[in-house]
Structure 1
């Protein structure tokens, strides 16, 4: 199964791999036409109620494949309001083919009846609501693009479709019935505060007899009283396996948000080294965290602070972190959304014992990197861990070794399942796995073998982990870090350094170049 958000990401990744969205729409429309043929014989009446996005575009294609049927296409809105180029192209194709079409400017004029005659494409007057129901109604208004309870024109249109169903029409929904949450199967808006309080209009959804969904089943469809067909529309497996621009689609900010809503990160490290925790902390800020603090020994706190005025530094007594600092740092960590643990920490015995005790009792989200990594397999913890080893560190953790990336992907997936944590193994091809799902990242270049790029990655993943699921945070972090490295290499050649990546992380996280 695939969630609505992940489906949008996969669709965008397919386009980035060279599979045109127009080709996917053609395949989708053809699949819906096959379903119509399964439920009705040639000559039957088919009304397609279409939205102005790509869900409607799928149905525009469907109409072209139903030449043996009495077809009418109804667009909810004006043709010039169609939202995507490919949907508009397919609407224009209907006009050119003189397939009966109707632009419904006022939803109160919408009728879902058989025998419409609106081939001129300009009518805004629907037939009377008491006309005969068509044999088939195709619901192509919103699909997985739903946010919140239906509003007009889709709300009234859904009611009219349901009335046609009661009058005998078979309803075929495109991807997801309009008004249904693709991930939960619930009527969207049914659990809102207004509904709970008994105020506002009752939420509405299309009651479909059949659903043609694309690429993979959506979680919410299993609970519907409808036959579900999963249509292969030509999205390659690589669009799910490899990270791509689609993975960035969820990285949006509410313009009304306040300080702290996009994450607070604590970097725990330093002692033998000062640069590593600073790189991680600065990267976390560039990757979108609102606040970043560094917990480090007092012996290096001044140096860490000197690297950037943007950091908040907390120094603890001594030259290295040890069990004596445990309670203070655990208390500090509790006030943060994610902890990046390990950069520059060193491998002194007291420090590693500190790592063990911290992880054993902590229950939050931790990105574990560098010297802290070998401790992970021996600790029983309720924390959510994202481990970011390179291949040498993976072996120190007791993990597998494989040169070929496909073998490594399988082996890392098995290792992640064994230890029960998300693992991001850095390499020419980064492998991200959580024991159930594996993704592979191909951005980056040989110049990134320079020291410190892993610290940048850990900080970026820490920032992303404050607002994303662990697997997504790791996959997006690897993709963005590699893109930042590629941008640096394009400008600087092989002489890049880790700080060059930090300043380019915002570019790496943008959905466009």
Structure 2
């Protein structure tokens, strides 16, 4: 992939803090270190401060990476400007912040730690005489209003005659005369500074996207991971079970398989459908099961003769993933979120349009297809779009052409859809299944089975991140 060709798919405008954390992590996975990002951010912040031509600057630093940005800025301000840094000396400091605090001890700045309100009040003169105050207290990681001693720091800064420049995003309760946003704005009216994040960190799916998955609470009860119903089987009996196992390994607590075909897998709840294929005689039961589930995964191994049943069930699904034989016209849609997972042939079937051979052309076509919901177009490079945003997934291996890998992907997407919007669920599902395929292919090459992917999924999706 040639990065310069993907510029048209870069998103613009404000970005959420959660998405920005994912982009940062993707940049680091692509080789830009956390310290490099912080250095670029701090230098850009210093340039915004210099625009006010101050004689004295006061930098307020928390103990996270936002504080580290402020410390870098102070280092760039040390020549020709009377620079003081007041930093929180309470609680755990991030490694990057600690690194820059150590460097700052050798710079021509005045360092003043604070641990309580009284420490800050003793430094009142610094607030009164500063021409510019840099707000690097909390940044995008802040939750709610600040507590003491930060609340006193905010009050003193607000009362100061100084201009206040916020690093990335204002600390809650702090006024800001200018906001220096790194990479993209998080609030309206911010001045955006480029900090050298690679283009592909934003338009491709990476490990940073996994940070969007919410953690399971310590007091979580049975079912909190979500309930997934898989409807399929008949002509191809194994497909719904591969989807079901994918859903379980991606965090779903309860997975039911509604199928005429039975496979003895004790972790899955079998909902028997009499006969050799799914038909209208099963509708009443399938509708009841669909209304109960958080997500319905439908189409795996279903065959071409059951589409009227899919159409009838779809309006009763809260959320759904439609795969394989469910990808026919009229295209079914759930009440809330819908993910469609076609390969090129299935895409042609539901759009009446053949895809171009090149990745850029395929992405343009998918975005303009007019499909309401999220489209996960499978291929050498997976393309995920909701009709506005486009993301590319580069994980995977040629050995994944073996039958059943798409069923696992549909199940993983279904489990993630229990907790995430459709676009994010589809992006992460594609990335995780591709990574699992790479690991299995390294061990077994073209001897890969779709079932080999299943046990690799949790180690990728839920590994502990610092």
User: What interval of TM-score do these two structures reach, taking the shorter chain for normalisation?
Assistant: over 0.9
Change (3 A) 1:266 1:453: same
Q: CA separation in 1, counterparts of 2:289 and 2:249?
A: 22
Which string of whole-angstrom CA distances, capped at 9 and with x for unpartnered residues, describes residues 70-98 of structure 1?
Answer: 110111115x94212x2222111111124
Structure 1, residues 369-390: CA drift from partner, whole Å, max 9, x if none?
A: 000102354x576452100011
**Which whole-Å CA distance do the structure 1 matches of 2:377 and 2:464 have between them?**
26
Q: Does 1:338 align with 2:351?
A: no
Aligned match for 1:355, one of 310, 315, 328: 310
> What is the distance in 1 between the residues matched to 2:271 and 2:424?
30
Match of 1:240, SS? Answer: helix
Deviations 1:185-221 (A, max 9, x none): xxxxxxxxxxxxxxxxxxxx11111111111111xx2
Q: Which residue of 2 aligns with 1:71?
A: 83
Task: Report deviation, 1:45.
Answer: 1.1
Alpha-carbon distance between aligned partners in 2 of 1:426 and 1:274, rounded to the nearest angstrom? 22
Q: TM-score, normalised by structure 1?
A: 0.84
- 1:209 equivalent in alignment to 2:171: no
- CA drift of 1:403 comes to 1.7
1:320 paired to 2:270 = no
**Equivalent residue, structure 1, for 2:3:** none
Does residue 490 of structure 1 match 2:463? no
Matched, 1:258 2:221: yes
Cα distance, 1:494 vs. partner? 2.1
Question: 144, 149, 158: which one pairs with 1:148?
Answer: 144
Structure of higher RCO (CA pairs closer than 8 Å, 6+ residues apart): 2
What's the secondary structure of 1:491's corresponding residue? helix
Moved over 6 A (4+): none
Secondary structure in structure 2 of the residue aligned to 1:318: coil
Partner of 2:340: 387
Partner residue in 2 for 1:116:
none
Q: Which of 465, 468, 474 is matched with 2:417 structurally?
A: 465
Tell whether 2:401 aligns with 1:449.
yes
**TM-score, normalized by length of structure 2?**
0.92
In structure 2, list runs of 5 or more residues that go unmatched: 1-13
Please tell me whether the aligned partners of residues 355 and 375 of structure 1 are also in contact (alpha carbons under 8 angstroms).
no
Q: In the TM superposition, what are the counterparts of 1:27-106 in structure 2 within 5 Å?
A: 27-41=40-54, 44-66=55-77, 67-77=79-89, 81-84=92-95, 86-106=96-116
Q: Which residue of 2 aligns with 1:188?
A: none
Cα deviation code 1:414-450 (max 9, x no counterpart): 12xx121211011111111101111111111011110
Deviation of 1:273 (Å)? 1.6
The alignment yields a C-alpha RMSD, in angstroms, of 1.8
CA deviation vs aligned residue, 1:422-480 (integer Å, no higher than 9, x gap): 11011111111101111111111011110000000000000000000100100000000
Correspondence 1:38-437 to 2 at 5 A: 38-41=51-54, 44-66=55-77, 67-77=79-89, 81-84=92-95, 86-111=96-121, 126-128=122-124, 132-164=128-160, 168-179=161-172, 205-218=173-186, 221-222=187-188, 227-251=189-213, 252-297=215-260, 300=261, 303-304=262-263, 306=264, 308-348=265-305, 351-359=306-314, 361-362=315-316, 364-377=318-331, 379=332, 382-398=335-351, 399-415=353-369, 418-437=370-389
Structure 1 unmatched ranges of 5 or more: 112-125, 180-204
What is the deviation of 1:158? Answer: 1.4
Q: Aligned-pair distance for 1:336?
A: 1.1
